[in-house]
Structure 1
Amino acid sequence: MRFSYLEHIAQEILPTIEIIWEVSRAFHSDSDQYVADYYQSIRHLAEDLDELDGVEKLQGLTEQFFFNLSFSDAPEPIVGSQRILLDRVISYRTGLPMSLALLLQEAAAYAGLQLELVDFPGYPLLRFDYQQQSYFVDPINGDLLEGYQVQERFEDLTENVVDFGWDMFEAADQKTVLVRYLTELKHAFIHDRAFANALTTVHMLLTIHPDDPYEIRDRGYVLEELDCQQAAVDDYLYFVEQCPDDPSAQLLRLQLETWAAPQHILH
């Protein structure tokens, strides 16, 4: 499988949102219908905010996004792909924080606001810089957080194991955003038991990180679920060789030994 739109993300040739629209198209033939509807909605939203500026405009944007457009956080503890793929998030108006952040970021761009996605522990935040101050938007509900609130949240999430530093809150690069997004999508497809789609997602991730042993291990698992045992063996062997000290390597060794043992047929 080849995904040309993922091959040069280190150079950030294409906008991140355009790449993620392509990801949706890879799974749904009707994706463009929902994308077009979304752009029509955010054009109207931008027109409504035209007279506002700065933080006031940002607050108006989040109010429109979460109340007028009715976007909300996914209610399930473990979500399926419909809460991640942007076309389905648009359709259901419900999604994971990463997906909501990407949609809100695009809505902001249409309103003339630049929001940067920050790879925050737990789930990403959106940063807005205005008049030498940074504000952070929670993509779950649109709450506007100031610096001290972000620091408190960071320390709670990391339990003070990691020292806080503002250099951690620079805008995430395109590769970081796409890997996080596709990893969430991969796990969702596996949860859905949509293994053919999970395999496609793993190949997308391997386009970004060729020869990554953990993605190859996950491909082996998906191939095993698709009854492609020999291909799964090759991937598991690669992982065990590359990551012999990983806790899952010992379990895979035992599994590979079981598969290699002669099968006795009882009559």
Structure 2
Amino acid sequence: MQFSYLEHVDHELLPTIEILWEVSRVFHTDSDHYVSSFYQQLSALKESPELADKEGSERLRELCKQFYLQLGFSKAPEPLLSSKRVLLDRAIRLRTGEPLTLALLLQEAASYHGLVLELIDFPGYPLLRFDHDQCSYFVDPVNGEMLLDQQVQQRFEDAVEEEDDEEDFSWEMLETAEQKVIVVRYLSELKHAFITDRRFADALTTVHMLLAVLPDDPYEIRDRGYILEELDCNHVAVDDYQYFVEQCPDDPSAQLLRLQLENWTTPQTVLH
């Protein structure tokens, strides 16, 4: 399976949004219809006098207001991941998405209107940063709220406490994420969403996409083994599980996989 648009993310040869439009096209033949409608809606916003009359951070505030109120985007209502809330074209269609998906769409909307938003790979879910007049403004993609420095730090503390992480806050965390980091985070979220949806064939495709970005990554190969097992392809999953066990012998899941591999390879006694 070839995904040439994913093979050079280290060099950032293509805009991130173009790569993710391509990802959507893999799963839905009507994807271009919703992408086109999104740009038509962004174009219509240019007619808004409230937006045209503002500059800098005030222009960004107005754009966020238009994005979340007029266009009607909002956070996904379900507690569990779903592919229809991760894929960009489905989020456009349904007007709801996961925070990363909303961040990417808002970033593109801002770019369309002459504003540069940088995506920050923040704990919990991403933030967007807008630099203007030697100041940095942070946007919560869930609702378009502009965050103060203290709110950003509180967001970090809440996220690491929830994840039981002891990492300390640093302003260096608010640097722009590299394209590879964004693409991997997006595809990982999509993979887990497809697994939740029990769309294992699509999850397998997504793992192949991840392996185009992260060749021979043992954790992606382990996940491929799990998906193959769900697709009743145990004879193929064996090789993936064996690779993971060899590469990551100290991982907590490796012992369980060793036992599973032993059960699969132990000859069964046939009673006559």
Amino acid at match of 2:26: A
Secondary structure at the aligned position of 1:44 is classed as helix
Question: How many residue pairs get matched?
Answer: 267
Residue 245 of structure 1 corresponds to: 250
- Compute the displacement of 1:167 (Å): 1.3
The residue correspondences of 1:6-85 to structure 2 (distance < 5 A) are 6-48=6-48, 49-85=51-87
Please tell me whether residue 138 in structure 1 is matched to residue 129 in structure 2. no
- Return the alpha-carbon distance in structure 2 between the equivalents of residues 154 and 85 of structure 1: 26
Amino acid at match of 2:30: D
The residue correspondences of 1:79-228 to structure 2 (distance < 5 A) are 79-159=81-161, 161-228=166-233
- Return the alpha-carbon distance in structure 2 between the equivalents of residues 263 and 29 of structure 1: 46
Amino acid at match of 2:35: V
Identity of aligned residues (%): 67
- Compute the displacement of 1:152 (Å): 2.0
| Aligned 8 A contact 2:81 2:192 in 1 | no
- Compute the displacement of 1:151 (Å): 1.3
- Return the alpha-carbon distance in structure 1 between the equivalents of residues 46 and 157 of structure 2: 35
| Aligned 8 A contact 1:125 1:136 in 2 | yes
Amino acid at match of 1:166: W
- Compute the displacement of 1:231 (Å): 1.1
- Return the alpha-carbon distance in structure 2 between the equivalents of residues 162 and 234 of structure 1: 36
Amino acid at match of 2:61: Q
Secondary structure at the aligned position of 1:39 is classed as helix
Stretches of structure 2 that go unaligned for 5 or more consecutive residues are none
Stretches of structure 1 that go unaligned for 5 or more consecutive residues are none
TM-score (norm 1): 0.97
| Aligned 8 A contact 2:156 2:169 in 1 | yes
Secondary structure at the aligned position of 1:248 is classed as helix
- Compute the displacement of 1:228 (Å): 1.2
- Compute the displacement of 1:247 (Å): 0.4
Amino acid at match of 1:258: N
TM-score (norm 2): 0.96
- Compute the displacement of 1:266 (Å): 5.0
Residue 5 of structure 2 corresponds to: 5
Measured against aligned partners, the alpha-carbon deviations of 1:64-103 in whole angstroms (never above 9, x if no partner) come to 0101000000011102100000000000001100000000
Comparing 205-214 and 153-162, the one that deviates more: 153-162
Comparing 66-75 and 152-161, the one that deviates more: 152-161
- Return the alpha-carbon distance in structure 2 between the equivalents of residues 161 and 104 of structure 1: 31
Amino acid at match of 2:39: Y
| Aligned 8 A contact 1:7 1:207 in 2 | yes
Secondary structure at the aligned position of 2:137 is classed as strand
Give me the CA root mean square deviation.
Answer: 1.1
- Return the alpha-carbon distance in structure 1 between the equivalents of residues 247 and 69 of structure 2: 49
- Return the alpha-carbon distance in structure 2 between the equivalents of residues 192 and 163 of structure 1: 35
- Compute the displacement of 1:263 (Å): 2.1
Secondary structure at the aligned position of 2:129 is classed as strand
